[in-house]
Amino acid sequence: MSPGLNVKGLIIEISSPQKHTEKHRNILVRHSSSVCFRGRLNTCTALSFHLSPFTIIISTMKNSPVVMTFSGHDPCGGAGIQADIETLASQGCLAATVITALTVQDSRNVIEFKAIEASHVISQARAILEDIPIAAFKIGMIGSTENAEAIHSIVHDYPHIPLVLDPVLASGNGVPLGDEQLLDSIRALLLPLTTILTPNSIEARLLAPEADTLDACAFALLDQGTEYVLVTGTHEHTPQVINSLYHAHRLLESFTWERLPHSYHGSGCTLAACTAGMLAHGLEPFHALHEAQDFTWNALQHGFRPGMGQYYPDRFFWSKQD
């Protein structure tokens, strides 16, 4: 039997007689962005296409889109660069990482951090950009005003590459990871270059302090030049989590998700990195955000607690499903 796709109701199956050769590449098959199958196929190409109502992503590490991610190093492995690498790998992308800060933290608290020198941030990024084609940018923890300026100097040279900004302004336990000067730099330098901004409600209020509602916050951020703003509602006191997407100075859609019982380390990183990965695969912003929310919710639902603090998203939850 030759390798093939078989559609059976809402399940797509992959069949291949050679399951263990080195030539076989990973494939992901999604239905409404929930992975229903992972298998292998003898292919050397990376494809992204739609078979309504399915989204099928067939990818190989040989031809995976590359996402450059700027973020801090998390030695406990739940957030930051580590979260970006896991999430992007799970999406069939390669993560090209630029470290912006070194942190001392565990699964409970950020104890301290040290921003990397801006010149070294630039050197890391330029070395990669001169060698490897980048399909999307993702920005997480910046670490300092100087680093914001450095990142601006880099991404400004690539206006055709979509950019996802996760404005990490504090740790999960509330430790500040930036000051008012960094906020000003984000507003002035990075928001005008951002394709998709993914603040939680606390971050949205910090970035737009004059606004009196979350809707007004989002409109103020759109006025700064950001194309799309997704304000996540995990920090709001609502029975369900409501994420609100804004574009062209209007509320585009509200997404409602079941509120999960735990506190999670790296959930915002996961959402932003997955969004960048979907953009790198060629999805337009609305569908990229829908896919990323669904992936993140499933990763959180399958979360685990490695230490005495927060739960971690299981970013490879699909690999454990039947």
- The CA-atom distances, in angstroms, between 170 and each of 18, 75, 109, 134, 245 are 49, 17, 11, 28, 22
What is the band of 171 on the pLDDT scale with cuts at 50, 70, 90?
Answer: confident
pLDDT at 8: 30
As a whole number of angstroms, the distance between CA 51 and CA 231 comes to 30
- CATH topology assigned to domain 66-301: UDP-N-acetylmuramoyl-L-alanine:D-glutamate ligase (3.40.1190)
Domain residue spans in the chain? 4-60, 66-301
pLDDT in tens, 36-85: 333 333 222 333 333 333 344 444 455 799 999 999 999 999 999 999 99
pLDDT in tens, 86-136: 999 999 999 999 999 999 999 998 999 999 999 999 999 999 999 999 999
CA angle 255, 259, 260 (to 5 degrees): 135
CA angle 156, 69, 35 (to 5 degrees): 125
pLDDT in tens, 190-239: 999 999 999 999 999 999 999 999 999 999 999 999 999 999 998 898 99
CB 6 within 8 A of CB 12: yes
Its pTM stands at: 0.83
